[in-house]
Amino acid sequence: MKDLYSQNHLYRNNFNIPKIGNSDVIYFCGHSLGLKQKNSSSQINAELEAWEKLAVEAHHRSENPWVSFHENLISQSASIVGAKDNEVVVMNSLTVNLHLLLVSFYKPSKEKYKIIIEKNAFPSDIYALKSQIRFHGFDPDESIIEIESNDNSYYISEEDIISCLQSNADQSCLLLMGGVNYLSGQAFNMRKITKLCSNLGIIAGFDLAHAAGNIELKLNEWKVDFACWCGYKYLNGGPGCPSGVFINEKYFKQKVNRFEGWWGTDKLSRFKMEPDFMPIKSAEAWQISNPPIFSMAPLWSSLNMFHQVGMKRLRRYGLELSDYLYGSLKDIDSKSIKIISPESKYERGCQISLVVKNYNNLREELLNNHIICDFREPNILRIAPVPMYNTIEDINFFISVLKKIIKK
């Protein structure tokens, strides 16, 4: 554990820890908005300076030419999600990308038009799905199938998933699941799910908002069809920063529906301004507009840090931290709190979720003690010790405060 502490501390120093008054807060919200890395200011400033000094010329003449700026983020993003470089692009925001991917991958027919998703999926995903279903002329109320747990808990077992997929395969054309569920923190077996989907003729897509930079992913090896994730949670790219997209390379050889724009057309002829779209032979073909440089800059600097640390190492520390938190919570598991995240550390990422009593009081008391966690109405507390910057000491302090509040 000593090693874990010192290693974490190494990276913690690269982040700005928020303060209340003069004291650092204990921050357990990296699953919501990751902390600012100190480097991100200079990275943004460099681009502001390029704008100041070069204006339009910065597209081609600055140190990091804007015309290809997004390319700097591809290979590091690809290694975080276990993809080939040509399968990844960084653009737009997450729900926008989900819509663009659904344009390509939701191909309903009269017989096969339903979409399968886990219960308690993030509402924005449901809104996107429902609007796409309506757009295709189907009824959302009978076209979305939720995978539920058979004991009414937050835990969805492999049997629950298999039985839902098998019994609905005849009518379903698409699965969209969180790689890690945003509410319970449960990490799903994406390899097995994708394989089963493939056997059943169902396209498999994942929302990796809570998985990218949190757990190890091997999207290419698992043969996932498509995925998207945001850059502002575990990836620490800053609020609203662009989202990552994965498209399995097999789709570059097929004719696919796609909404298109000039940033997806062949780079050599793009500025010839010709009317025919010639898709780049990679996920970049899905790009529509030129990249938002100022919000890509901090993500780039964060991805560099991920590259240095490596997902294997990060996950190893993450597992130790979350296991330590889980064990400490288990010791005080009482009538006031109930852990709803899976017990096996391999079935969760950093986050551990609790159902709590006296929700409002707990929220206030934790904040009074300078602890920032995340609360979801009506009674869920989500705590994410993030290996990039959280420490065992953070967890110990949190547990001691929680014990005191519960005793009161």
Ligand X SMILES: Cc1ncc(COP(=O)(O)O)c(C=O)c1O
Q: Which is nearer to ligand X, 33 or 67 (CB)?
A: 33
Could you list the beta-strand ranges (E) of 208-365: 226-229, 243-247, 337-339, 352-356
Distance CA 92, CA 96 (A): 6
CB of 157 to ligand X, least distance (A): 21
CB of 70 to ligand X, least distance (A): 17
Sign of CA dihedral 153, 154, 159, 160: positive
Distance CA 308, CA 301 (A): 11
Q: Which is nearer to ligand X, 58 or 237 (CB)?
A: 237
Distance CA 265, CA 288 (A): 9
91: tokens are 């653009």
Distance CA 397, CA 386 (A): 15
Distance CA 251, CA 143 (A): 25
Q: Which is nearer to ligand X, 235 or 325 (CB)?
A: 235
Distance CA 274, CA 118 (A): 44
Could you list the beta-strand ranges (E) of 28-186: 88-91, 114-118, 144-147, 172-178
CB of 243 to ligand X, least distance (A): 6
CB of 405 to ligand X, least distance (A): 27
Placement of tokens 């069809």 in the chain: 225
Report the interface residues with ligand X, using CB under 6 A. Answer: 93-95, 122, 124-125, 178, 182, 207, 209-210, 230
- Sequence-ordered alpha helix ranges (H) in 246-310: 293-309
Q: Which residue minimizes CB distance to ligand X? A: 95
Distance CA 382, CA 225 (A): 30
250: tokens are 């097999």
Distance CA 223, CA 286 (A): 19
Contact yes or no for 15/29 (Cβ under 8 A) = no
